[in-house]
Amino acid sequence: MSIAVAVRKGTTIAVAADSQENFGDRKVVGSNHRATKIMTLGGSELAMTGWGVYDNVFQDYLASRPAPRFASERQIFTFFVRLWKDLRRRYSFVEDQVAEEERSPFADLDSSFLIANKHGIFHVSGDMSVMAFREYYAIGSGASYALGALHALYPTERDATALARRACEAAIAFDVYCGGDIDVRRIASIGRR
């Protein structure tokens, strides 16, 4: 439960996320703990929402590997398929938690991810589908609020960083599971579209 946003404007992509940590319906006081939901992997910024344990998994999983190349939807998909297989082999505490009424023939990561780099903005959904976005996207429990703000503000604002921050602010204002400080990362000098 979080908000993470990626916005492209001109030659800049900004990624922003809140810093509130939740355990079910209980939130952790910001002065006691600050969650970091964006990690740098090589030339990419990866934001995650959902299970907080993914931060630990990524830190451990990538410690002995080179940073993944996320230059295309296919490369990202291949990485997450490999990760999903290794999760089940390497981390014995991982299990599928799809509810019976939500039965799917596909794997379930139980989290969502945004990847931003000089190649663009990519969303990895819980079922591991990968989709590229030209302008912006948001994930997490506050995504509807952030997307609404981006839809309204995108044509009026020139700065990707300001847009990403304002979208997170909208989610924090209206979604009880979003809060804390806003972390923003900037990727500059990407090609124009």
Range among 15-24, 33-42, 53-62, 112-121 with highest mean pLDDT value: 112-121
Which residues are paired to 18 by β-bridges? 182
> What is the value of pTM for the model shown?
0.88
For the purposes of burial, counting CB atoms within 10 Å of the CB of 56, is it exposed (0-12), middle (13-18) or buried (19 or more)? exposed
Q: Pull the structure tokens for residue 175.
A: 């979604």
Considering the domain delimited by 4-92+105-188, tell me its CATH architecture.
4-Layer Sandwich (3.60)
Q: Work out the pLDDT band at 126, boundaries 50, 70, 90.
A: confident
